Structure formats: structure tokens, C-alpha cells
């Protein structure tokens, strides 16, 4: 007796068994027919990508992933889409998209509300599909930084992790004065320059950076210090993950995922420095040190306390093109009043006491006296924190809104989604209610549309337009990388109202998603999400 096999209506072979390779994700209809009796059996096969921990990849798979990332860094969207198809977008495209989400003057659309998880998981999926356009075998790996975040070792030991070897993501402690990783695969990662016609947001030097980061260095930067201090933080660890997992409703879980579980990994890797940092460190009480992870100059900038130059030519040194606090805006206000007005106290979901013990503050209340401190100590902390933020400084790439330039960015957020998926796969009661609010920044309510499109095959035939007022599109232009002479022309915006492909040919309407839609589509219990995680195990947490 022989058997004939069909997949999606196509005859693929004869035999008692069949070994085949599926070239696309999704549900495939399979039929096996017995001969000569005519017996017939139909079944479905679901095909998905598997995301694995970066250290569990084979050397070949890891190299394939790194190679594709290098393509996105070097090949502009217009050229890449001609070669690789419509799913391809360059790293500059993704960086601009993230900059629009996190570097807007009015508020942070992607990082300070309930929309954080949706935005970053959808964003990572769109990036993954761009990599798959280059090489369809790729699934974005995740970096389980809770391994480095366990209590073992001091706060700097994680920097010697294999993740930061020259052959992988490169050092977090470059030895040159420019603080540019200059060795290995990701040495001298370029930052786009001359982008004033390509992006509506750029720094004073016309570079694809946040407006509050007046850095003229044309490459990715990293530093192991913060404002004159050795950065004494570690990545989030097992405790933060356990605590996040215990939440039984979406609103509190989303807050825990974006804060304690995500931790301050971007500040840890990116760092910040200043010509005056040594002076600040000598004058600043040690009490402010536990709060350095909460110091965000961008919030002072949004509140118009920190003022940055609009334009500086490349031959103008940083010391003459730096952001500084506006004395007039500060006049008559105490440091506490300024920090409150800028949202730097109410925006925090947790902080540390003087013994570096975590103090939960999920209500994010604004207290004149911080828990675990005296009134005088609290006043000192507010005073010195404001002084540090008003000291002109430069932020490392991972610390600001163009953190996507740093390759480590792309393996950080999948590990948080892995925890989120595990929580959603539980059988216990979970409240999925997404409570809307009129006070949150656009991008954080369930009905808000995100500038992410065409992520799921079954939803491709629908369309949803995002208001250009919310996420304005770029207008094309010339982009120079790393001071190099070659020009790169990228057409199309950040993906609004259809868009363009190479050569100016109009593409079909794009499918965008609201937060509510994306929340459902990313549900691991459903069939839409095109990937799975290799496991939901944290064995190091069992012994930590």
C-alpha cells in the first residue's frame, strides 16, 4: 500500500512517510491518501519561527543573524527593497521610527505608558521580518539578561559576559576617548548624518539622534559610567521577573514589564558623560547615586527647563554646542518643584533606598520626603539630581531615543515578551482590561494606532490609516554615514498612508494596528503570532 501526500492542494510526494520543508509560516492544509483503497486523512500543520537565547544559537545561526543586521546597517531602504522585497527596511528607517516614538517634544509615545510592550514587540517583529527578507532562516534571538542580573558577582561583572565579546555585540567599555566601540563585527557602527531632510527630529549637528543629545560623534557610543560615577547598576534579575509575573491584570503587569522587568539596561549599556562630570561627582553627595538611573535630562527638555541649540556646524566643538538649563525657567522654583513639574518623580515606578534595597512605588506618588530617607536627605537628593541633569552631558547611544542603532537593542525586548507570553499562557484568571485615559501620551490607549504595519498575513487585506499629525512621515533625502562620502537616498516615510517603494512606485494600502488589535494578535494562545520561544525556563533563578 502506498500513500500520496498533498500540502495546500499541491502534490508533494509518495511514500509511507514524508519529509518536507515548509517555506512559509502559518497553517498548512495537508492530505494523505492511501492507494489503492482510497483512504483519505486531512490534517493541519502550523509552522512558526523559533526564537532562542543568543547563547543557544549555533555559531552558524548567530553569524547569519549578525550578517543580516550588518546589511540593514549599510543598505538603505530604497536599494534594499529593490533587492530583498517590500519587507526590507534599513536600520536608519527603524531608528527614525523609534526616534519619532521616543524623541517627540510633546511626550514619549512608546516608553512611558501601557503601550510600551505592544510598541516594542510589534517593532521587533517588523525588524525580524526585515532580517528575514535578507535571509528567511532568521528568527530574532533574545538575550536573557537576568543571567547577568543574578546576585552573583559585582555590578560590573556582567560587562565581561560573552554577549559583549568583540565577535558578538562588542565591549561596553571602549578604551578610546570618543567612547566608540572600535573592535570586532560591530566596531564603528555608523550614525546617520545630514538628516535634516530625512527626519523631522535630529540633534543640533543634524544627526539622527535625540534633540537633547548634542553629540557630534558619527558612530555608536557606549560608556560604563553615569555623570562621573561608575555605573553601579546591573540588569534586571530573577526577583524583578518573579514580581512582574505575579501580577494578575494587564494594567499592573504592563507597568511592571516596562519598569522593573525591563530595568535600566539602556542606561547601563549606554551611559552618560560630561567634560564637567568629575566636578559633579566630587560635589554630589553619595545619596543621589541610587537615583542616577532615574535621571532623565529628556524630561527637563520636554518641560522647557533644559534648552538645546537648534543648529551647530560640525567644526563647532561640543563644549560650544551643549544643552543647558534655562536660568529664567528655574528662577523661583525649588529643585523638588522642578522635578515634579517635569514628571521626574511621578513617572518612576520604583526606586532604591540608601541601602540599595528596592522600594516599590507602584502608585508613583510624588512625596516631598522619599521613603527610607530623612527630609534633609531627600532635599539633598532633589538638589543634586537637578544639578546633575543641568550639567551639560552626552548620552551613550543606548541611553537615548536612537538606541536602535546599538545592535544590543534588538535582543533586549524579546526576553521581556517571553515573560509576557508565559503569563498569558497560564490558565488562571487574568484581567485583560486595558483602561483608557485622557491624560496619557498618544500611543498608550487601546484605540491608538501604531506606525507598525503588515505584521500578520491574515490581516493584510484590511487597512488602517494613522494620522500624520501623530507620526509625521519623513520626506526622503540624503543620508551620510559615519562621515563617509557615499550618499544614501531613502524614499518613503515612516510608513503612513500607503507609502512608497524604490523608484517611487506606489505600494498597496498598508495595514496598521491599534493597540487593542495588536494586543490580540500577539496572543501566544492564538495562531496569528508567527513565532514561538524555545522555552519558558529560567534555571539560574531556581538557585539564585
pLDDT tens per residue across span 233-272: 789 999 999 999 999 999 999 999 998 899 889 999 999 9
pLDDT of residue 317: 87
Distance separating alpha carbons of residues 137 and 140, to the nearest angstrom: 10
Q: Name the E strands within 158-265.
A: 192-193, 225-226, 229-230
**What is the helix (H) or strand (E) element at residue 449, kind and residue range?**
strand 449-453
Say which DSSP state 293 is in: G
Contacts of residues 129-133 at CB distance under 8 Å and 24 or more positions apart, as own/partner, are 129/87, 129/455, 130/72, 130/87, 130/88, 130/89, 130/94, 131/65, 131/68, 131/69, 131/72, 132/87, 133/80, 133/84, 133/85, 133/87, 133/88
**540 exposed, middle or buried (CB, 10 Å; 0-12, 13-18, 19+)?**
middle
**Length of the chain, please?**
544
Name the nearest CA neighbour of 172 among 224, 123, 220.
224
| pLDDT of 486 | 30
> CA–CA separation, 500 vs 498, rounded Å?
7
Instruction: Take residue 108 and report the three cell numbers written for it.
Output: 514619549
What whole-number percentage of the chain has pLDDT above 90?
A: 64
pLDDT category at 387 given cuts 50, 70, 90 is confident
pLDDT for 479 beyond 50? no
> Cα–Cα distance between 190 and 72 in angstroms, integer?
11
What angle, 0 to 180 degrees and rounded to 10, lies between the N-to-C axes of helices 238-245 and 409-424? 40
Position 315 pLDDT exceeds 70 = yes
Segment holding 540, helix H or strand E: helix 539-543
pLDDT at 495: 31
Interatomic CA distance for residues 306 and 212, integer angstroms = 8
Number of H helices, E strands in the chain: 15, 19
Positive/negative CA dihedral, 384, 385, 387, 392: positive
The two beta strands, 531-533 and 2-7, are unpaired
Structural element, H or E, at residue 44: strand 40-47
The Cβ of residue 3 has, within 10 Å, a number of other Cβ atoms equal to: 16
The residue written with cell numbers 532568521 in the block is: 138
Rounded-to-integer distance, Cα 187 and Cα 189, Å? 6
393 neighbors 297 (Cβ within 8 angstroms): yes
Confidence of residue 33 (pLDDT cuts 50, 70, 90): very high
User: 51-220+228-272+400-458+510-543: CATH homologous superfamily?
Assistant: Di-copper center containing domain from catechol oxidase (1.10.1280.10)
Indicate if the pLDDT at residue 489 is higher than 50: no
Strands 49-51 and 531-533: parallel
H or E segment to which residue 481 belongs: strand 478-481
Residue 503 pLDDT > 60? no
pLDDT tops 60 at residue 463: no
**Which residues 6+ apart lie within 8 Å of 510 measured at CB?**
453, 454, 463, 495, 498, 499
Q: What is the structure's pLDDT at 501?
A: 33
- Which three cell numbers mark 119? 510598541
pLDDT tens string 111-149:
989 999 999 999 999 999 999 999 999 999 999 999 998
Using DSSP's 3-state secondary structure scheme, residue 489 falls into strand
Q: Is 101 helix (H, G, I), strand (E, B) or coil?
A: helix
Where along the chain do its domains lie? Answer: 4-47, 51-220+228-272+400-458+510-543, 275-392
Beta bridge mates, 193? 480
- Reported as a single tens digit per residue, the pLDDT across 301-314 is 999 999 999 999 99
Query: Dihedral through CA 493, CA 496, CA 501, CA 507, nearest 10?
Result: -170
pLDDT for residue 245: 96
Which tens digit of pLDDT belongs to each residue from 352-376?
Answer: 666 656 555 544 445 678 777 888 8
Whole-model pTM: value is: 0.87
- Summarize the confidence of residues 95-105 as an average pLDDT: 97
Whole-number mean pLDDT of the chain?
85
What digits encode the pLDDT tens for the residues 179-234? 999 999 999 999 999 999 999 999 999 999 999 999 999 999 999 888 777 776 78
Cα of 470 vs its chain's centroid, Å: 20
Question: Tell me, what DSSP letter sits at residue 408?
Answer: T
Q: Within 314-472, where are the H helices?
A: 327-330, 335-341, 375-390, 409-424
* pLDDT of amino acid 378: 84
Within 231-308, strands assigned E span 272-273, 306-307
Tell me the C-alpha distance between 415 and 106, whole Å.
Answer: 30
Sign of CA dihedral 198, 203, 206, 208: negative
- The residues, ordered by sequence, that sit 6+ positions from 38 with a Cβ below 8 Å of its Cβ are none
Tell me the C-alpha distance between 189 and 539, whole Å: 34
Q: Which residue has the cell 512621515?
A: 473
pLDDT for the residue numbered 478: 33
- pLDDT, residue 282, reads 53
Amino acid at each position: 500500500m502506498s500513500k500520496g501526500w498533498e500540502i495546500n492542494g499541491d502534490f508533494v510526494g509518495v511514500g509511507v512517510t514524508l519529509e518536507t520543508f515548509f517555506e512559509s509560516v502559518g497553517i498548512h492544509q495537508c492530505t494523505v491518501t492511501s492507494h489503492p483503497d482510497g483512504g483519505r486523512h486531512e490534517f493541519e500543520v502550523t509552522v512558526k519561527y523559533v526564537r532562542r537565547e543568543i547563547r543557544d544559537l549555533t555559531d552558524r545561526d548567530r553569524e547569519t543573524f549578525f550578517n543580516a543586521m550588518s546589511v540593514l546597517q549599510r543598505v538603505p531602504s530604497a536599494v534594499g527593497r529593490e533587492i530583498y522585497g517590500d519587507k526590507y527596511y534599513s536600520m536608519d528607517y527603524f531608528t527614525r521610527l523609534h526616534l519619532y516614538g521616543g524623541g517627540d517634544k510633546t511626550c514619549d509615545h512608546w516608553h512611558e505608558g501601557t503601550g510600551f510592550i505592544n510598541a516594542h514587540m510589534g517593532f521587533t517583529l517588523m525588524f525580524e521580518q526585515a532580517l528575514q527578507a535578507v535571509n528567511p532562516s532568521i528568527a530574532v534571538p533574545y538575550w536573557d539578561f537576568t543571567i547577568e542580573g543574578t546576585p552573583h558577582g559585582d555590578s560590573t561583572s556582567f560587562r565581561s559576559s560573552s554577549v559583549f565579546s568583540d565577535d558578538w555585540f562588542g565591549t561596553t567599555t571602549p578604551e578610546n576617548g570618543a567612547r566608540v566601540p572600535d573592535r570586532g563585527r560591530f566596531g564603528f557602527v555608523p550614525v546617520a548624518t545630514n538628516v535634516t531632510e530625512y527626519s523631522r527630529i535630529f540633534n543640533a549637528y543634524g544627526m539622527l539622534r535625540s534633540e537633547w543629545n548634542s553629540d557630534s560623534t558619527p558612530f555608536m557610543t557606549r560608556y560604563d559610567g553615569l555623570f562621573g560615577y561608575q555605573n553601579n547598576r546591573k540588569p534586571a534579575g530573577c526577583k524583578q521577573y518573579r514580581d512582574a509575573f505575579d501580577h494578575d491584570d494587564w494594567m499592573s503587569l504592563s507597568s511592571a514589564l516596562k519598569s522593573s522587568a525591563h530595568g535600566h539596561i539602556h542606561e547601563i549599556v549606554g551611559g552618560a558623560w560630561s567634560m564637567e562630570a568629575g566636578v559633579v561627582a566630587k560635589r554630589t553627595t553619595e545619596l543621589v547615586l541610587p537615583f542616577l538611573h532615574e535621571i532623565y535630562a529628556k524630561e527637563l527638555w520636554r518641560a522647557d527647563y533644559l534648552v538645546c541649540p537648534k543648529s551647530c556646524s560640525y567644526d563647532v566643538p561640543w563644549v560650544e554646542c551643549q544643552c543647558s538649563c534655562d536660568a529664567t525657567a528655574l528662577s523661583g522654583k525649588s529643585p523638588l518643584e522642578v522635578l515634579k513639574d517635569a514628571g521626574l518623580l511621578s513617572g518612576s515606578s520604583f526606586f532604591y533606598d540608601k541601602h540599595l534595597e528596592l522600594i516599590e512605588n507602584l502608585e508613583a506618588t510624588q512625596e516631598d520626603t522619599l521613603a527610607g530617607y530623612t527630609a534633609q536627605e531627600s532635599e539633598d537628593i532633589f538638589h543634586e539630581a537637578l544639578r546633575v541633569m543641568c550639567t551639560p552631558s552626552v548620552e551613550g547611544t543606548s541611553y537615548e531615543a536612537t538606541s536602535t542603532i546599538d545592535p544590543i537593542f534588538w535582543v533586549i525586548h524579546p526576553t521581556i515578551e517571553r515573560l509576557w507570553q508565559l503569563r498569558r499562557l497560564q490558565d488562571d484568571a487574568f484581567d485583560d482590561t486595558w483602561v483608557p485615559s485622557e491624560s496619557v501620551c498618544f500611543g498608550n490607549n487601546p484605540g491608538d494606532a501604531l506606525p507598525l504595519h503588515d505584521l500578520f498575513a491574515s490581516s493584510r487585506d484590511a487597512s488602517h490609516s494613522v494620522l500624520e499629525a501623530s507620526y509625521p512621515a519623513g520626506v526622503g533625502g540624503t543620508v551620510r554615514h559615519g562621515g563617509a562620502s557615499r550618499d544614501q537616498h531613502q524614499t518613503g516615510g515612516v510608513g503612513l498612508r500607503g507609502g512608497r517603494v524604490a523608484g517611487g512606485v506606489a505600494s498597496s494600502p498598508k495595514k496598521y494596528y491599534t493597540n487593542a488589535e495588536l494586543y490580540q494578535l500577539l496572543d501566544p494562545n492564538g495562531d496569528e503570532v508567527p513565532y514561538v520561544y524555545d522555552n519558558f525556563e529560567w534555571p539560574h533563578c531556581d538557585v539564585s
